[in-house]
């Protein structure tokens, strides 16, 4: 595979990482393309096949695991598989673009481990667990049980923050967007201090 870069944004669900990733994708000079993950979770209302995710059945997903088709995969919540197909990264690199990921903490760290020099791994930290719960409730995409499940997972994920290359504290969105832009731009242009 070629020498494109990999930009990983990982964070507990509800920390604002998706907003940051979408903002970066709009900055065309960064030459980024979103890595569309595969998932076996149900499609939410306004989501689009092959844009937000490649939606697979659990059986289809498991057969691709057996066929070694994933760069990384995770059973993020019970029976909800998520993963990055090798073909997805190849697809983006073959267009001469850099890949940007919005994936969970273990998936993000796995990509960093596989491609240590090519990857910038960014952890987005929510101001607090209470604030995270408020954001997930406002989003109204999950029921109370699912919110509690995501909050429980978030506490464990926060402990992994020091393993990332950088941590962005998302207590002020404009500041977080600006910080993310400069980090990614410097990394892509090889200005990041190692």
CB of 110 to ligand 5GP, least distance (A): 7
With CB under 6 A, what is the number of residues at the site for ligand 5GP?
A: 13
Member of 54, 82, 93, 123 binding ligand 5GP (CB under 6 A): 82
Cα of first residue to Cα of last residue in the chain, in angstroms, is 23
Taking residues 43 to 72 in sequence order and writing x for each that binds ligand 5GP by CB under 6 A, - otherwise, the string is: -----------------------------x
Q: Does 7 bind ligand 5GP (CB under 6 A)?
A: no
- The residue behind tokens 């907003």 is 19
Q: Does 154 bind ligand 5GP (CB under 6 A)?
A: no
Rounded CA gap, 185 and 50, in Å?
A: 27
Q: Which two tokens stand for residue 104?
A: 């969970």
> Residue 108: which of 11, 4, 2, 5 has the closest Cα?
11
Binding segment toward ligand 5GP, per CB under 6 A, in 61-69, 100-108, 165-173, 180-188: 100-108
Q: What is the DSSP letter of 49?
A: B
Q: Does 33 bind ligand 5GP (CB under 6 A)?
A: no
Rounded CA gap, 31 and 102, in Å?
A: 16
CB of 190 to ligand 5GP, least distance (A): 27
The C-alpha angle 27, 33, 39, rounded to 5 degrees, equals: 130
> Residue 172: which of 126, 135, 138 has the closest Cα?
126
**Counting every residue, how long is the chain?**
194
Residue 4 or 72: which CB sits closer to ligand 5GP?
A: 72
CB of 97 to ligand 5GP, least distance (A): 18
Q: Does 91 bind ligand 5GP (CB under 6 A)?
A: no
Q: What is the contact surface with ligand 5GP in residues (CB under 6 A)? A: 13, 37, 41, 72, 74, 76, 82-84, 102-104, 107
């Amino acid at each position: 595979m070629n020498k494109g870069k990999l930009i990983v944004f990982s964070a507990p669900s509800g920390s604002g990482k998706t907003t940051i990733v979408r903002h970066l994708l709009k900055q065309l000079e960064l030459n980024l393309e979103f890595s569309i993950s595969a998932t076996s979770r149900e499609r939410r209302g306004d989501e689009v096949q092959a844009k937000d995710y490649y939606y697979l059945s659990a059986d289809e997903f498991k057969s691709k695991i057996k066929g070694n088709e994933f760069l990384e995969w995770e059973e993020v919540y019970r029976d909800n598989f998520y993963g990055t197909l090798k073909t997805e990264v190849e697809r983006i690199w073959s267009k001469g673009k850099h890949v940007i990921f919005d994936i969970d903490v273990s998936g993000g760290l796995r990509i960093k481990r596989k491609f240590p020099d090519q990857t910038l791994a960014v952890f987005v930290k929510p101001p607090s667990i209470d604030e995270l719960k408020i954001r997930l409730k406002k989003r109204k995409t999950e029921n109370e049980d699912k919110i509690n499940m995501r909050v429980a997972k978030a506490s464990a994920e926060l402990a992994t923050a020091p393993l990332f290359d950088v941590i962005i504290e998302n207590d002020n969105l404009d500041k977080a967007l600006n910080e993310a832009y400069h980090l990614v731009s410097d990394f892509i242009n090889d200005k990041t201090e190692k």
